[in-house]
A and B are shown apart, each in its own frame.
Chain A
Amino acid sequence: MAEIAAKVLIVGGGPGGYVSAIRAGQLGLDVVLVEQGGLDGGLGGTCLNVGCIPSKALIHAADAYERAAEQAKSAPFGLRVEHPTIDFARTIEWKNGIVGRLTSGVGALLKRHRVKILQGRAVMVDGKTCRVETDTGPQIVSAEHVVLATGSVPTTLPALPFGGRIISSTEALSLPAVPERLAVVGAGYIGLELGTAFAKLGAKVTVIEAENRILPTYDDELVRPVVRRLRALGVEVLTRARAVGLSDAGDALRIEQEGAPARSIPADRILVAAGRRARITGFGLERLDLTMNGPFVQIDERCATSMRNVWAVGDLTGEPMLAHRAMAQGVVVAELIAGHRRVFDGAVIPAVCFTDPEIVTVGLSPDEARKAGHEVHTALFPFQANGRALTLGAEDGFVRVTARADNHLLLGIAAVGAGVSELAAAFGLALEMGSRLEDIGGTIHAHPTLGEAFHEASLRALGEALHI
């Protein structure tokens, strides 16, 4: 059996693992990265293969199609489109092309930084050794440092095991055709992003959510424009509803809703989007006997686990399960292993929801800020009063700022509106730099852009708004 010795062994080639590998390579460390590949993986992990990137490709295509269909109907600015159709197989092909470019790009980056990539399933033997089942037989890798970056998998519901009509987000991104009737279980961001895309592509979409509203982790004010848009798209949203299983014929989803008789919703596909759970099995984690934090591996501010020189990054370590958090953690770990002094100390981790319209949140909501004991000033600026939003035909939404009342330090920024995901950069920077309302108010924002709403919201919190 072949044996490889390395300074760093990274288990998992997703955003946490591959970024850690690149950074470690840059720092001159000898790195082996193990990626098992398969249906829901490959270099780039969930994010590149079956998550962020392919879903955004699909959302873009669906949006373009829906816009074309809208022009065909009403031509608000005179663009004449007749009988638009979408070749869904071509859409999927295009999406696969993007994924292919990015994953091969990751491979190239890793090679450039002399990271040795092992294709195969890793099983930890102990805290320094790992057995990898490759196509060419088993290999033993021993390393001074181990970085666990195994990510997460879609949560399964016992009543709705994956298979046949019941699919996870992974299969939803590679369907052969747009389903006629799609039931989506779970109105979190994954369910709503995909549900909205399929609704735009022509599916009759029903969303089932156990809580009393959609996107339960976001505050009501932010979610309202999304609710309006779902209604306009004809998406049926059932709240306080539970999916209890398939009908006997297997062609409908049985649901129970508070205050209503049990019923069945006919569906060609049932997308279960009930969240994701850390991947903590299948790679010998139990042999390391690490301290856990509920269903996650417990880490400290350096991403160190309870075992010396065993590190963990990304979804495996808990919420928020976001690629950019994993990447930042990966960099911290690589630099720590190289002997730098580092901690994961980001002031904020932005979160974006690619619904229609998009939602971006950075830092605290007004309620969270108050709960944290702050007296706050909060103000929002509606896109109805923003010129650029009107020229884009997207006037629903707003930017909202929350700042400390005593020294005007920004605590949180959020927006809902078309294209606001791109404002995440400005919002994140403002909070990371420790900006006050006056800093944003004193920054000249380009006209005409959506970002002006951020400027105006900050001015408004100071009682100095100009355009409202």
Chain B
Amino acid sequence: MGTRIIKLPDVGEGVAEAEIVEWHVEVGQSVLEDQLLAAVMTDKATVEIPSPVAGTVVALGAEVGNVLAVGAELVRLDVAGEGNEEVAAAPREAATPPAPAERPRAPVPPPALEPAAPSQPSPPVTRAPLGPPRPPGEKPIASPAVRRRARDAGVDLRQVRGTGPAGRIGYDDLDAFLRGGAKAGIAAARVANTDVETVKIIGLRRRIAQKMAESKRRVAHFSYVEEVDVTALEALRATLNAENRPDHPRLTLMPFLMQALVKAVADFPEMNALYDDEAETLERHGGVHIGIATQTPAGLMVPVVRHCESLSLWDCAAEVQRLAEAAREGRATRAELTGSTITITSLGALGGIVTTPVINRPEVAIIGVNKQVVRPVWQGAEFVPRTMMNLSSSFDHRVIDGYVAARFVQRVKGLLEAPATIFIEA
């Protein structure tokens, strides 16, 4: 019997530390070789750490939310044979805690009135539990008499909780709802809720919090909003999608905007750049690596479509789709989540009129896409329905002047409004 210390392995190039976001084991648990011990988070990617050996967990190196340096002790295991560390011999009993099943059972008190049913064969179908609160949209269950009485009293049964079997609403439930008159009827359903739930900000959420605060603290943000007539672009998009070619992914606005950005940053190299404010240098990049802000179940992630200047419209679309899926399913690798030189953020139909995006530091520009609306537009002699969309972009005023930003956005606007120009080689 020996003790084996599992250290936090090197989980990625250039990663010096990682945060524990989840423990898959607890002290006292026996683990098999390759069984997952913990999930740790680096810059943005989550990495699962498996156990290299079989053994019993003696100690965990950190709590969830703590940051461990690479090489620090992650888990301490009791293993058969030689361990890799001499530790003060612990009492054996403590090292092998009793399995829960062997725990001595408290003597069953003599049954009072309730008949104890110790070993009833379980029926093939479990007895229905008391119904949970009705999911929204589900029809309330009530007898015709209760329904009629509710209607006469002007009560919408959807507001009444049913305490009967399967959530059935009975006379008692209606009485309880009605008690105290019409005012209390509503008030009863709306009591002050004094619950406070404390949620630990850990993992990705903490990473987002830090990055956002850092960006807002250090970058001199300014935002510039311009409206873009995307009628022609939408027509082109619809035409291309109507082709329905199996080898082509469906096009959203995103790949067009990406292609337009590639074109525009060629004229404005200061936009496709990283500003190292400590060294006071601006790295202008030849490659256009576009970060795509993506909502995932865990929170905001920015997977990166690399070298957009070398990708076709279809490639862009496919890559965005692939990366978004990978990010949502937590499969995105660290490489796929770093290295962007400019970022696009879009909320699609939820895009609103104007947003003030936060720059993905050390980048210097972020392009925000607002929702499309058909609006009457004055065209000389008459109002014409046009599909309009705003672009809300933020820039780092430390290195980008307002005049330059405005010209840059006008260039993007020009490309999007005459979409053919996106695809004309210079």
Contact = CB atoms under 8 A, between A and B. Distances in A.
Interface of A: 340-343, 345-346, 377, 404, 406-409, 432-434, 436, 438-439, 461-464
A373 to B, nearest CB: 10
Chain B interface mostly: loop
Given A341-B151, A343-B151, A436 B125 contact: no
A343 B142 CA distance: 14
Given A343-B151, A345-B147, A406 B123 contact: no
Given A406-B128, A464-B123, A341 B152 contact: yes
B219 to A, nearest CB: 48
B125 A341 contact: no
B123 A408 contact: no
B416 interface: no
Interface in B364-388: none
Contacts of A464: 123
A439 B165 CA distance: 9
B152 A436 contact: no
B165 A438 contact: yes
A409 to B, nearest CB: 4
Nearest to A342: B151
9 contacts: A342-B151, A345-B147, A404-B166, A407-B167, A432-B144, A433-B144, A434-B166, A438-B127, A438-B128
Contacts of B152: 340-341
Contact of A462 (B125, B151, B154, B165): B125
Contacts of B124: 463
Nearest to B162: A434
Contacts of A404: 166
B143 A408 contact: no
Nearest to B165: A436
Contacts of B299: none
Interface string B93-130: 00000000000000000000000000000011101110
B168 interface: yes
A408 B164 CA distance: 13
A342 B127 CA distance: 36
Interface string B129-153: 1010000000001111001000110
Nearest to B150: A341
Nearest to B152: A341
A340 B151 CA distance: 9
A340 B164 CA distance: 28
Contacts of A343: 151
Nearest to A409: B166
A389 B147 CA distance: 37
Contacts of A432: 143-144
Contacts of B125: 377, 461-463
B141 A434 contact: yes
- Size bracket, chain B contacts: 20 to 34
Nearest to B123: A463
A462 B144 contact: no
A322 B127 CA distance: 37
A439 B170 CA distance: 15
A336 to B, nearest CB: 11
Given A340-B152, A407-B128, A462 B123 contact: yes
A408 B151 contact: no
Nearest to B139: A347
Nearest to B125: A463
A434 B128 contact: no
Interface centre among B124, B147, B165 (most CB of A within 10 A): B165
Nearest to B122: A463
A434 B131 contact: no
A157 to B, nearest CB: 39
Closest A-B pairs by Cβ, 8 of them: A463-B124, A434-B141, A407-B166, A409-B166, A408-B128, A434-B168, A407-B128, A341-B151
B143 A434 contact: yes
A342 B151 CA distance: 7
Contact of A409 (B127, B141, B142, B154): B141
A463 B126 CA distance: 9
B147 A436 contact: no
Contacts of A461: 125
Contacts of A409: 141, 166
A342 B131 CA distance: 28
Interface string B320-356: 0000000000000000000000000000000000000
Nearest to A464: B123
A433 B143 contact: yes
Contacts of A406: 128
Interface centre among B128, B143, B152 (most CB of A within 10 A): B128
A433 B127 CA distance: 20
A345 B158 CA distance: 13
B166 A436 contact: yes
Interface string B147-180: 1000110100000000011111000000000000
Given A434-B166, A436-B165, 5 more contacts: A345-B147, A404-B166, A407-B167, A433-B144, A439-B165
A355 B152 CA distance: 41
A438 B127 CA distance: 9
B414 to A, nearest CB: 48
Contacts of B147: 345
A346 B147 CA distance: 10
Contacts of B131: 407
B143 to A, nearest CB: 5
Nearest to B129: A407
B169 to A, nearest CB: 8
Nearest to A439: B165
Contacts of A439: 165
Contacts of B142: 434
A408 B166 contact: yes
B130 to A, nearest CB: 9
Contacts of A408: 128, 166
A438 B126 CA distance: 12
A439 B164 CA distance: 12
